[in-house]
Amino acid sequence: MNNTELVNALAGKLEISKSEVSLHIDNLVELMTTELLDNNAVALGNLGTLEVQKRNERVTVHPANGKKMLIPPKLVVKFKTANGLKDKLKGLKS
């Protein structure tokens, strides 16, 4: 589902305009981004939790030329699936 499909689905479900839904989604993303930049986790109900983690530096091999490269440390956003969603996914067949 892309952003347009999400806006359309929520507008239909909530019976409000697409522009209002889009504004609410933009505000939600802004709030979540601010919290993550402040190094706070963001829990999303029965979906999961987003949190910032530090990825340590590591040495890897460039596949084209075989030379070793140092990948510097960086911050990444990790998603941890909520148990409720994990349980629902277990019931699905691949």
In tens, the pLDDT along 41-84 reads 999 988 999 999 999 999 999 999 999 999 999 999 999 999 99
- Residue 94, Cα to own-chain centre: how many angstroms? 23
Asked if residues 44 and 81 have their Cβ atoms less than 8 Å apart, the reply is: no
**Whole-prediction pTM value?**
0.79
Cross-strand partners of 54? 75
pLDDT at 94: 66
Q: Could you tell me whether strands 68-71 and 74-81 are parallel, antiparallel, or unpaired per DSSP bridges?
A: unpaired
CA–CA distance, 23 with 18 (Å, rounded to integer): 9
CA–CA distance, 10 with 15 (Å, rounded to integer): 8
State residue 42 phi and psi, 5-degree precision.
Answer: -120, 115
The DSSP secondary-structure symbol of 45 reads: T
pLDDT tier, 36 (very low <50, low <70, confident <90, very high otherwise): very high
Q: What is the mean pLDDT of the chain?
A: 94
For residue 77, what are its two tokens? Answer: 């956003």
pLDDT at 66: 92
With a pLDDT cut of 70, the percent of the chain lying above it is 99
